Amino acid sequence: MFEVNSNYGELQGSYLFSEIASRVAAYEQAHPDADIIRLGIGDVTEPLMPAVIEAIKKATDEMASRDTFRGYGPEQGYAFLRDAIAEHDYKALGADISADDIFVSDGAKCDTGNIQELLSPSSRVAVTDPVYPVYVDTNVMAGRAGSYNKEAGQYKQIVYLPCTAENGFDPALPKEKVDVVYLCSPNNPTGTALNQLQLQKWVDWARDTGALILFDAAYERFITQPDIPHTIYQCSGAETCAIEFRSFSKTAGFTGTRCAYTVVPKTVFGQDASGTKVSMHDLWLRRQTTKFNGVSYIVQCGAAAVYTPQGEAEVTEVIDRYLKNARIILDGLAKIGIKAYGGVNSPYVWLQTPNGMPSWDFFDLLLNQAQVVGTPGAGFGSAGEGYFRLTAFNTRENTERAVARLGNLSLT
Amino acid sequence: MFEVNSNYGELQGSYLFSEIASRVAAYEQAHPDADIIRLGIGDVTEPLMPAVIEAIKKATDEMASRDTFRGYGPEQGYAFLRDAIAEHDYKALGADISADDIFVSDGAKCDTGNIQELLSPSSRVAVTDPVYPVYVDTNVMAGRAGSYNKEAGQYKQIVYLPCTAENGFDPALPKEKVDVVYLCSPNNPTGTALNQLQLQKWVDWARDTGALILFDAAYERFITQPDIPHTIYQCSGAETCAIEFRSFSKTAGFTGTRCAYTVVPKTVFGQDASGTKVSMHDLWLRRQTTKFNGVSYIVQCGAAAVYTPQGEAEVTEVIDRYLKNARIILDGLAKIGIKAYGGVNSPYVWLQTPNGMPSWDFFDLLLNQAQVVGTPGAGFGSAGEGYFRLTAFNTRENTERAVARLGNLSLT
């Protein structure tokens, strides 16, 4: 019988959100009339903006006529979208990124998951803890994580960098030799963001040690504070050591529409087994042209509309609405004496559970007492224990109702 | 400096279609007024059908309103689409495939490229020769192909199964131990199809030897002859040894719209390094939920419209138009004494070059004498040498004009 990739056998249990779904389903079955408010999974709730809708419909009309129909497009994305991205997301900030450094894709989850294919199987990987599970699981599948240490809740070959209130959510540089580090800022799940100095420290470290930074900036559009960089390429030297991931999912409500992009500057090099320098841009281009066929034309047209004056205004309005929700949650938590972080440059609020309660216990308490669903911090890694994530992705009304219920929690 | 995946270094030169594009560009530069007709790359030319356009617009309207907006969908695809696929593409043919065996994706290229991640790095892979390059290149990237033998034009660890006029395009079963075989029927590039008996032979072999069949049926909708199976699951026992790939690209003109699906029956098992049986369905589910975020909702709605009575009628009309083009090409080639295959259950015509001319020479001859672009067989593998692919993907007018020019070729 043929043999499978045995690394999959090292993956742990079910995915965080399946466990949440099953606990909520059990609660609903026991309480069929419960009015549950979901501040758990990080999915948007506001509809697509008028500018996007209009662009998608116009593109759909083009697909209906032979003269304007589009078949296969460039795997890297259409020039009209890559140009708009380079102009608005980089050049406008003084970051020297050109359109052909940009690879349009159908999701940052795909790209952050697939990027590790370009690395040697023996690469030493570091992640922050807590962490978006995809970074770890995709390296487990590739055999880079080693076996799982149940007691520690960690893989033996992965380097975990704790990221907690104690260190101000600014993880220390790894002490051991590391080849690749995943950084996410503004962070999922903590909602905190690295400032210019903190991020520059990582870029300097990568340049000094010859490491690669995989920088996930999916939540960039939520940044409000002036000292938080919008792209890692605002840090000096990042164009030689960093790959950046961006998405229209949270920016423009594309979680169900699917469009993202990855920036691989032509100045990022690794080396092969024989020590020859290899361009990461060339490798990713080869990977994408071989295993991917580009994003739907109509979706790319929708994404490009985000960069029109109308699109920009509509995006800002929606983001502001979510950020106001986050502010309401932060204020509500402060009022009942729960410490919380994030929510200022991010749609995520990361609270410390009262009296150090285990985060799954707090999940059950919140569901039972307030019919509010959140995400237990422990689901994102062992350093997430004692924390809990609430999201601003909901209507104003539901956010206010949820916060009102928090006021009635019995926490002792 | 961090180390890359050195297997990429074994990939050969540029992709087939880039070389074609550069030769065509050079010709155009030298002959700016040339009226070139492209029968090369396998891309559709007819626009999306009215039923599909209408469904996409309706779905786009849903995305514009908070009550009907869709965020993240199930990674495996929406039930409405998986149900329609199971019903129309399988149950209607008596094949016992259920909706939850089906994984909707954004392309058969992605799925046929990604599926090898589930296999052990040491798996022995067999492909037909000629072959769709993605099957080989993705295994090269994963280190299963070994080094390249320039003289043979083959990778040392890959088992090549010649598929030529001599064996009626029915490749012999491998003599050596093979773990996985990629089969494509109707075939790209040869345009030929395996009949029920020929395909059953492969299923029986896989069951006897414990091998896995990766069956690419992207061109299924072009089948016209009654003894050609539409799915491998019409063969007895295939549900225990085969994974099937399908696409809306060629069926319904989705090359630029992006939707496909893969069938992984829950009865297909491999074994891990310790000999424990492992469900391929479970592995693919884990892979897809970890590295993929589902297909755009509006695109899935468009794909589902293909299964409505209006959609089915419109698809049939377009497919018939392409098949008539293929017939015109076949007749034109017969008239000038060029032997050709395929084109009956496929949009591809696979001709034998006159006087055994090398296929890249025939490419240049056709471009220079007739301003017609096709695809050299050698680009698909060494057994493709002496063959050449023409496609039916064009307008009737262009097809007829191209065929008229063939009549004036000077072939001696």
pLDDT digits (tens, 9 = 90+) for A222-249: 999 999 999 999 999 999 999 999 999 9
Q: A32: how many CB neighbours lie within 10 A of its CB?
A: 6
Q: How many whole angstroms from its chain centre is CA A389?
A: 14
Record: contact B141-A117, CB cut-off 8 A: yes
Write the residue in B1, B286, B294 that is nearest to A11 by C-beta: B286
Asked if B217 and B187 touch (Cβ cutoff 8 Å), the reply is: no
* Contact partners, residue B25, CB within 8 Å, separation at least 6: none
Q: What integer pLDDT is reported at residue B40 of this predicted model?
A: 87
Asked if B327 and B343 touch (Cβ cutoff 8 Å), the reply is: yes
Asked if B128 and B159 touch (Cβ cutoff 8 Å), the reply is: no
Q: What integer pLDDT is reported at residue A102 of this predicted model?
A: 98
Q: How many whole angstroms from its chain centre is CA A60?
A: 29
pTM: 0.97
Whether B6 has a pLDDT exceeding 80, the answer reads yes
Write the residue in A4, A120, A256 that is nearest to B278 by C-beta: A4
Q: What integer pLDDT is reported at residue B112 of this predicted model?
A: 98
Q: What integer pLDDT is reported at residue A16 of this predicted model?
A: 80
Report the alpha-carbon distance of residue B302 to residue B296 in Å, rounded. Answer: 10
Beta strands in A147-296 (DSSP E): 148-149, 154-155, 159-162, 180-184, 212-216, 242-247, 260-263, 269-271, 277-279
- In angstroms, what CA-CA distances link A229 with A206, A217, A315? 17, 10, 19
Tens-place pLDDT, residues B351-374: 999 999 999 999 999 999 999 999
Q: What integer pLDDT is reported at residue B286 of this predicted model?
A: 95
The mean pLDDT values, 10 residues at a time, for chain A of 412 residues are 97 80 94 95 93 98 97 96 98 97 98 98 97 95 96 95 97 97 98 98 98 98 98 98 98 98 98 98 96 98 98 98 98 97 98 96 97 96 96 96 94 76
User: What does the radius of gyration of chain A's CA atoms come to, in whole angstroms?
Assistant: 22
User: B65 at the A interface (CB within 8 A)?
Assistant: yes
User: A391 at the B interface (CB within 8 A)?
Assistant: no
* Surface-to-core class of residue A114, CB atoms within 10 Å of its CB (0-12 exposed, 13-18 middle, 19+ buried): buried
Q: What integer pLDDT is reported at residue A14 of this predicted model?
A: 64
Sheet holding B340-342, edge to edge: B340-342, B348-352, B387-391, B375-376
How many contacts does A have with B, using Cβ atoms within 8 A?
263
CA angle B172, B178, B180 (to 5 degrees): 95
Tens-place pLDDT, residues A165-221: 999 999 999 999 999 999 999 999 999 999 999 999 999 999 999 999 999 999 999
User: A290 at the B interface (CB within 8 A)?
Assistant: yes
Report the alpha-carbon distance of residue B251 to residue B316 in Å, rounded. Answer: 9
Give me A166's structure tokens. Answer: 């104690």
Q: B175: how many CB neighbours lie within 10 A of its CB?
A: 7
Average pLDDT, chain B: 96
**What does the DSSP 8-state code read for residue A163?**
-
Asked if A227 and A345 touch (Cβ cutoff 8 Å), the reply is: no
Give the residue, B41 or B141, on which the prediction is more confident.
Answer: B141
Contact list, A8 vs chain B (CB under 8 Å): 118, 278, 283, 286
User: B208 at the A interface (CB within 8 A)?
Assistant: no
DSSP for B129-183 reads ES--HHHHHHHHHTT-S-SEETTTTEETTSEEEE-SGGGTT-PPPPSS--SEEEE
ipTM exceeding 0.90, yes/no:
yes
How would residue B14 be classed by pLDDT, with cut points 50, 70 and 90? low
User: What does the radius of gyration of chain B's CA atoms come to, in whole angstroms?
Assistant: 22
User: B298 at the A interface (CB within 8 A)?
Assistant: yes
- B 219-258 near A (Cβ less than 8 A): 253, 255-258
Q: What integer pLDDT is reported at residue A394 of this predicted model?
A: 95
Closest CA to A75 of B135, B47, B134, B186: B134
Asked if B404 and B152 touch (Cβ cutoff 8 Å), the reply is: no
